[in-house]
Amino acid sequence: MSSAPLSIIQDDLGEPGADHARTYVNRELSWLAFNERVLAEARNPNYPLLERLRFLSISGSNLDEFMMIRVAGLVGQVQRGIERLSIDGRTPSQQLSAIRETVQHLNDIQQDSWRALKSGLADSGIHIADEKQINSAAYSWLKTYFLEEISPVITLQAIDPAHPFPFIANQGMGLLFTLKRDKPSERSANQVVEMILIPSGLPRFVRVPGEEAIYISIERLIGRFADHLFPGFTIIGDGAFRVLRDSDIEIEEEAEDLVRTFRTAIQRRRRGQVIQLELEDDFDPVAEQLLRDQLGIQGATIVKTDGMMGIAGLGDIVDEDRPDLKFAHYSPRYPERILEHDGDCFSAIREKDIIIHHPYESFEVVVDFVRQAAADPDVVAIKQTLYRAGNQSPVIAALIAAAEAGKSVTAVVELKARFDEEQNLLWAGQLERAGVQVVYGFVDWKTHAKVSMVVRREESGFRTYCHFGTGNYHPVTAKVYTDLSFFTADPKLTRDAGKLFNFVTGYVEPHRTEGLAISPINLRETLYAHIDKEIENAGKGRPAVIWAKLNSLTDKGVIDRLYAASEAGVEIQLVIRGICCLRAGIEGLSENIRVKSIIGRFLEHSRIWAFANGFKMPGDRAKVFISSADAMSRNLERRVETLVPIRNHTVHDQVLQQVLLANLLDTEQSWELEPDGSYLRMEPGEKPFNCHRYFMTNPSLSGRGGALEAGGVPKLALRRGAV
């Protein structure tokens, strides 16, 4: 069934806390295992070369963020003497030790992958940092470009007692040069050290004009022509370096002005503690020691790189105009149900609930929902949550237009969306200036729910329309993330949505909801109740099955509940893209649990829960939910999230017997979790199935369920091992 396992995640069960280690997988090591699966796609021979380069870049970006957030947090715990154990019983220092060994392994794989891709791309006419391609014409152009475009922008900074050591920003890259005067001087030192910090506004790679693509990295370009910067000196040593800093933001509960507090915190992030220092493998020893002394790198990870520094930057080259080296272009379908109503979103929703599957179906329908609300004279109010909206957001523009048209518009802007805090502050300012009532929600909880609510005046009275999503209102990520958008005018759910907004904007906790479960109020308890119902059904000899699709499963309470269900005989099939702290397939603990991860062209992001509910066939009696929440403690306890019941018969079957089932059936992009915590890539088998390809080529969900009626997808079966 499967190929050889990935190597980095087989835990040492002899470590301290071995009992916990036999029961749970370490959160950080599980995340690193996920990133190794991403990195494996950079070596996937079935993918075009530039797509493989994209996966390599993503793995580098992922690893940078992991160091800046997760590793930084552990370093801080060690420095403060905190000995809190992880779910698998490790202290922070034990986790750091295992992480650093694994990170080094991943860095080695990244560089090996880079060398292989560099060679393959060169064979296809894309040359990156390839000195052989720098002929006299290219050299002449690069020299002119350097002198006219680069030299005026960069600043030389001498490193000596008369000049304070310059500040190196987070993710900052620079070069150090050790120089010797050509003519000795009695007034000045004959040997000096100079630093050049590369401004963030400069391109990461410079492309030489011409049909054949020749790229040179900015650090190599500066190094190549550095002699023009230092007349009268000979360069006797040089090297490039890169710095990562602690980038987490902590907000005090008693913050009086959240906006001002976040602006200050963003500034602090740029000056956070150094977490990783990346150096070229042949970095000048004198310059290296100077960096170590000046940066105060106690507790930092030192990475020596013999290939490309800042792997994430390779993503810029993916934009090269070579369609032959990329996935075939895909244009999302516009939902058929909306087209049948001449583009009238409200008319279509009023007729029947609609489910939209992004990116196979266009995110434009979500934008049109808000745009139509903004332009419709019968719409009196719009309420919208905004977690990540991107730097060019048509949703924001529609909300501004609605406010300017005199409608009551409320926007819940989450300032604590990591790495989007600054952008969200900008959006909040624009919205407020347009007359939108902007609310920042809770100080100590993030508002992560994806909800849009429109109140419209109609002949029968006021009617409310809602959009519940599993993903953000972000037009860029909606093209590559698989998410679900659920549109409904069901009065029970729309009343619940109103209570949700009152909870966030006015801190009025809903005492009772009619369908919606909301964290941190009752989402955990709702999940537990459904898991317990499956346990009860198993005890009565009735069919008992749990299916779930999530990004992460780390919460001990949920894991223990699933273990209890497995021991009671409940069949459990999970699709967990990223972190999974549950151990699958262990006799007497989780022998009835199967876990797989899908990594492919699109990023699996939707969250779905389904419970057999005691019936032999799922039909419309199985309980199906979509959610904005992963099974993580932060989502269940420290975020405002939604768990939305899917009751409409057609939508129910589309989510359960198309989206969820296709993920369970996938063999071409799937990795199976083994009891020891390692992952095996599944063999495609005699009838390979690729869920991404299936959804790209089959009728849209918002049609009439045509794929189901035509038998395009097998039905779910509840027997052991089925699917």
pLDDT band at 89 (very low <50, low <70, confident <90, very high): very high
Specify the pLDDT at position 309.
Answer: 93
pLDDT band at 96 (very low <50, low <70, confident <90, very high): very high
The yes/no answer on whether domain 130-307 falls in CATH 3.30.1840.10 is: yes
More confident of the two residues 455 and 22:
455
Q: b/e string for 238-266 if b means 16 or more Cβ within 10 A?
A: bbbbbbbbbbebeeeeeeeebeebbeebb
The whole-number average pLDDT for the span 692-721 is 59
Strand-strand pairing, 379-386 and 156-158: unpaired
| CATH superfamily ID and name for 336-506 | Endonuclease Chain A (3.30.870.10)
| Integer Cα distance of 623 and 644 in angstroms | 11
Domain with CATH 1.20.58.310 in the chain: 2-122
pLDDT exceeds 60 at position 247: yes
Cα separation values, 382 from 230, 351, 498, 644, Å: 61, 21, 11, 20
Residues contacting 283, CB < 8 A, separation 6+: 176, 239, 240, 241, 304
| Integer Cα distance of 651 and 661 in angstroms | 14
pLDDT band at 270 (very low <50, low <70, confident <90, very high): low
At 204, list the tokens. Answer: 């990461």
Angle at 125 between CA 123 and CA 127, to 5 degrees: 90
pLDDT exceeds 50 at position 716: no
DSSP codes of every residue in 48-64: -HHHHHHHHHHHHHHHH
CA atoms within 13 A on the CB side of 471: 24
The whole-number average pLDDT for the span 57-81 is 92
pLDDT exceeds 80 at position 478: yes
> What pLDDT digit, counting tens, does each position of 190-213 carry?
888 899 999 989 999 999 998 889
Specify the pLDDT at position 139.
Answer: 92
Q: What φ, ψ does residue 146 adopt, rounded to 5°?
A: -65, -50
| Integer Cα distance of 67 and 246 in angstroms | 8
Residues carrying an active site annotation: 448
| Integer Cα distance of 120 and 105 in angstroms | 23
The whole-number average pLDDT for the span 126-155 is 91
Q: Measuring CA to CA, which residue among 401, 414, 408 is closest to residue 451?
A: 414
Domain with CATH 3.30.1840.10 in the chain: 130-307
Q: Quick count: other Cβ atoms within 10 Å of Cβ 495?
A: 17
Q: Which percentage of the chain shows pLDDT scores above 90?
A: 66
Q: What φ, ψ does residue 503 adopt, rounded to 5°?
A: -65, -45
Mean pLDDT of the chain: 87
Question: CATH number of the domain at 2-122, please?
Answer: 1.20.58.310
pLDDT exceeds 70 at position 514: yes
Q: Which percentage of the chain shows pLDDT scores above 70?
A: 88
Cα dihedral sign, 282-286-289-294:
negative
Cα dihedral sign, 346-348-354-357:
negative
The whole-number average pLDDT for the span 449-473 is 95
The whole-number average pLDDT for the span 31-37 is 96
> What pLDDT digit, counting tens, does each position of 103-119 carry?
999 999 999 999 999 99
pLDDT exceeds 80 at position 543: yes
The whole-number average pLDDT for the span 170-182 is 92
pLDDT exceeds 90 at position 258: no
Q: Measuring CA to CA, which residue among 428, 419, 399, 417 is closest to residue 472?
A: 417
Specify the pLDDT at position 636.
Answer: 96
Specify the pLDDT at position 1.
Answer: 43
The whole-number average pLDDT for the span 381-387 is 91
| H or E element at residue 396 | helix 394-404
Cα separation values, 169 from 172, 173, 268, 287, 455, Å: 5, 8, 11, 18, 46
The whole-number average pLDDT for the span 164-189 is 85
Cα dihedral sign, 464-470-473-475:
negative
Domain with CATH 3.30.870.10 in the chain: 336-506, 517-709
CA end-to-end span of the chain: 14
Q: What φ, ψ does residue 655 adopt, rounded to 5°?
A: -70, -45
| Integer Cα distance of 544 and 555 in angstroms | 22
Specify the pLDDT at position 17.
Answer: 46
- Per DSSP (E only), the strands in 188-300 are 191-197, 205-208, 213-217, 233-245, 274-280
The whole-number average pLDDT for the span 424-442 is 82
| H or E element at residue 429 | helix 421-433
pTM of the prediction?
0.89
pLDDT exceeds 50 at position 253: no
Distance of CA 305 to the CA centre of its chain: 25
pLDDT exceeds 60 at position 708: no
At 480, list the tokens. Answer: 């590559």
The most confident of 283-287, 382-386, 393-397, by mean pLDDT: 382-386
Which of 298-302, 398-402, 671-675 has the weakest average pLDDT? 298-302
pLDDT band at 20 (very low <50, low <70, confident <90, very high): confident
pLDDT exceeds 90 at position 255: no
**Cβ–Cβ < 8 Å for 41, 55:** yes
The whole-number average pLDDT for the span 86-98 is 93
CATH topology (fold) of 517-709 = Endonuclease; Chain A (3.30.870)
Specify the pLDDT at position 421.
Answer: 65
